[in-house]
Amino acid sequence: MLIGGFLYILFRKENLVMFGWFHSLGLDNSVNYLRNISMPFSNQFPKWVLYSLPDGIWVYSLTSFMFINWYLELDKSKYFWLLIGPVLGLSLEFGQLAHIVPGTYDNMDLIICLFASAIPFLIFNYKIKERRIG
């Protein structure tokens, strides 16, 4: 989550709501300092890293957290919670497509969200099988 947060802080436009929060907290100077240091690197990253990866990291982190939380007690009743990250991530993206949610729909956002949703399921499915065998 820190990586995604720093991508936003360092490389995204200052019209995002979070920059207002930083201003309210008196963190303008610190944030501007970090942004100025990182400015030479802003062209080093592909656009998908700066604009799509943070959303994927959020979906991956939430889904992984849910798995970690219920790893030893996994049953069908927990799947609702395991699906919150993927459902929210995909819903927000489709909401942008339908102009219900503010933001810009992007196919790359959707693709990364799908991969970020699948990876925790694959990892923990492997771990669960490994636990049953071992």
Q: Kindly report, residue by residue over 109-119, the tens digit of the pLDDT.
A: 999 999 999 99
State the pLDDT at residue 134: 60
The mean pLDDT value of the chain amounts to 89
Residue 124's CB: how many other CB atoms inside 10 A? 19
| Local confidence band at 129 (pLDDT 50, 70, 90 cut-offs) | confident
Judge contact between 20 and 46, C-beta under 8 A.
no
Kindly state whether residues 59 and 13 are assigned to the same domain: no
Kindly state whether residues 29 and 54 are assigned to the same domain: no
Q: CB-based burial of residue 62 (10 Å sphere; 0-12 exposed, 13-18 middle, 19+ buried)?
A: buried
- Residue 84 CA to residue 28 CA, distance in Å, equals 33
116 three-state secondary structure = helix
Kindly state whether residues 60 and 125 are assigned to the same domain: yes
Angle formed by the axes of helices 53-70 and 107-133, to 10°?
20
Kindly state whether residues 91 and 108 are assigned to the same domain: yes
User: What is the domain range of residue 90?
Assistant: 50-133
Angle formed by the axes of helices 84-97 and 107-133, to 10°?
170
Q: Note the pTM of the prediction, 2 decimals.
A: 0.81
Kindly state whether residues 30 and 61 are assigned to the same domain: no
Amino acid at 78: K
State the pLDDT at residue 2: 85
Kindly state whether residues 27 and 11 are assigned to the same domain: yes
State the pLDDT at residue 75: 76
- Residue 5 CA to residue 56 CA, distance in Å, equals 12
Kindly state whether residues 81 and 113 are assigned to the same domain: yes
CA-to-CA dists, residue 62 to 56, 68, 98, 99, angstroms? 10, 10, 24, 25
Kindly state whether residues 40 and 54 are assigned to the same domain: no
User: Average pLDDT, stretch 49-54?
Assistant: 92
Kindly state whether residues 63 and 22 are assigned to the same domain: no
State the pLDDT at residue 65: 92
pLDDT digits (tens, 9 = 90+) for 57-104: 999 999 999 888 877 677 777 788 889 999 999 999 999 999 999 888
- Residue 24 CA to residue 70 CA, distance in Å, equals 37
74 compared with 51, residue with greater pLDDT: 51
Kindly state whether residues 62 and 100 are assigned to the same domain: yes
Q: How many domains does the chain have?
A: 2
State the pLDDT at residue 68: 87
User: Average pLDDT, stretch 32-49?
Assistant: 91
Kindly state whether residues 73 and 113 are assigned to the same domain: yes
